[in-house]
Structure 1
Amino acid sequence: MNKLSIKSIIDFRKKSDRRKKTFAQNLQIEKEKKETDGGGDYWVICLSAISNAFKHNDNSIIIDKIHEFEAKYENTDLKRTKDMYERNIAILYKYEDYDFSRWIPKVNFQTIKKHRPDFLLNIKGLQVEALPHHVFTFQDENKEIGAIWFIAQLDGYERDELAMFTDILHRYLELNFSKKYIINAEFCIAVDVVNQIEISYAQILKDNIPLKLNSTLEEIRKLM
């Protein structure tokens, strides 16, 4: 059975009834998929730069990447490639002076190694993919854990859609780390880098943001 990205689950919700059924039935047909929740290779320029700038709390990484790809933009005549560079660079400009420390715990912040087999979660009998850019530990009174996921899509995401990324991110932490660490809901964060909005799991709890992942997966399962 094919794995589901959060992006594909969000796209499913927007389909007609006929196309929803086709989508659900096609999940049982194994095929290679190249796109990920982060938007695949199309957004890799901005997502990798933002991810590295966060990890090192260093905006020069963003600035260097802007200069690198502005030069590449000038040296290509292919419209699709120019569009890709232009859109990625436009996002990077939003983060060249960004205060990444607001997402970084103050005490003993340390990123930890991720294991790719852990990225797949079995929910409602379906394989759902969580792809955090960083998982990190920190310590105040207790040893805590958090994660951050940078996401890009051409027009960005609605608030309840972005919450689906945060939801699966929190489940990923619960499944893989809750026996050893306390999950800090404030630092379980999904970031829409296009619209520059973020949702932590603490916000979901505080604002009672509807979580639509389970109901959507149930709908998919019924159509299979």
Structure 2
Amino acid sequence: MKKLSIKDIIEFRRKSDKSKKTFAANMQMEKEKTSSDGGGDYWISSISAISKSFKLNDKKFIDERREELEQKYDKTDFQRTKTMYKRNIDILYIFEDFDFAKLKPEKFNFLKKNKKDSILLIKGLDFKVTPSHLFTYSSEEIDEIGAIWFVAKLDGFREEELGMFADILYRYLKIHYSKDYTISPKYCIAVDVVNKFSITYQQLEIGEIDNIFLRTVDELKKLM
């Protein structure tokens, strides 16, 4: 069975009842499915620059990447490639004036990710979890940990869909880091870079955003 992503679960949720059955059957095949917006690397140009700007607190990486992609856009004659560049360029323009400060504590330290921790077993299914950054900080003498995940989809995400990234991100932190840190719901953040909005696990916790992750997983499991 293939390892699932949150995008897989979102794609499943958006389908008709009939299509969900076919989708569930396909999920049991080993072959990795390519997403309709170009796969995992489609948005890498913009997301990597945004992620680096967040980490180093410097917008120059966004500007430099945008200029680089604009040059590539002008040089290629392949329409599909031009479209990919254009979509990434549009995201970078959006983030030129984005305030990253609201997404992180005032004082914190980044924590190195461990690649072997990227697969979570949830209700018998393997899920890939690849946050952009992990960071630790102290709050009232308590060592806390947070994480941020910059994600993209061609048509963007609905609030409850983006909330699924925040949910599994919180589970990831709880499984791997709860022995050494208190998990921060406030700084467990998923960011939709296409629609430029974010969801925290805290919003799920207090019921501000409907948490649909486990319900959707249960629905998929029943069809498998």
TM-score norm. by structure 1 comes to 0.94
Residue number in structure 1 paired with 2:171: 171
Which runs of 5 or more structure 2 residues have no equivalent in the other structure? none
CA distance in 2, matches of 1:48, 1:11: 24
Note the C-alpha offset of 1:176. 0.5
Which is further off, 185-194 or 198-207?
Answer: 198-207
Aligned with 1:136: secondary structure? strand
CA RMSD of aligned residues (A): 1.8
Q: CA deviation at 1:32?
A: 3.3
Code of the residue aligned with 2:175 in structure 1: it is L
User: Partner of 2:192 in structure 1?
Assistant: 192
Distance 2:202 2:213 in 1: 17
Per the alignment, do residues 84 and 38 of structure 1 end up closer, same or farther by CA in structure 2, a change over 3 Å counting? closer
Counterpart in 1 of 2:68?
68
The one-letter code of the counterpart of 1:116 is: K
CA distance in 1, matches of 2:95, 2:187: 19
TM superposition shift of 1:12: 0.3
Residue of structure 1 equivalent to 2:119: 120
CA contact (8 A) 1:39 1:151 kept: no
Q: Tell me the amino acid that sits aligned with residue 166 of structure 2.
A: T
Q: Which moved more, 1:15-24 or 1:64-73?
A: 15-24
Matched, 1:98 2:101: no
Separation in structure 2 between the aligned mates of residue 182 and residue 148 of structure 1, nearest angstrom: 16
Provide structure 1 residue ranges, at least 5 long, that are not aligned to the other structure.
Answer: none
- Other structure's SS at 1:3 match: coil
Greater Cα shift, 127-136 or 49-58: 127-136
1:149 corresponding residue in structure 2: 149
1:132 corresponds to: 131
185-194 vs 112-121, which deviates more?
A: 112-121
What does 1:38-49 correspond to in 2, within 5 Å? Answer: 40-49=40-49
CA distance in 2, matches of 1:64, 1:165: 28
CA displacement at 1:112 relative to structure 2: 1.3
SS in 1 for 2:42: helix
Q: Name the amino acid aligned to 1:62.
A: I
Tell me the amino acid that sits aligned with residue 74 of structure 1: D
8 Å CA contact 1:150–1:190 kept in 2: the answer is yes
- Does structure 2 conserve the Cα–Cα contact (< 8 Å) formed by 1:39 and 1:152? no
- For residues 70 and 155 of structure 1, what CA distance do their matches in structure 2 show? 22
Cα distance in 2 for partners of 1:194, 1:23 equals 25
TM-score (norm. length: structure 2): 0.94
Letter of the structure 2 residue corresponding to residue 132 of structure 1? P
The letter for the 2-side match of 1:219 is: E
Cα separation, 2, equivalents of 1:144 and 1:73: 43
- The aligned residue for residue 214 of structure 1 is 214
Q: Which deviates further from its counterpart, 73-82 or 208-217?
A: 208-217
Deviation at 1:3, TM superposition (A): 1.0
Provide the aligned length of Structure 1 versus Structure 2. 223
On the 8 A contact 1:38/1:152 being kept in 2, the answer is no
**Does 1:81 pair with 2:84?**
no
SS in 2 for 1:199: strand
Distance in 1 of aligned mates of 2:95 and 2:124: 39
CA separation in 2, counterparts of 1:208 and 1:90? Answer: 30
Q: Report the CA distance between 1:33 and its aligned residue.
A: 4.4
Q: Which amino acid aligns with 1:213?
A: F
Structure 1: how far apart are the matches of 2:26 and 2:177? 33
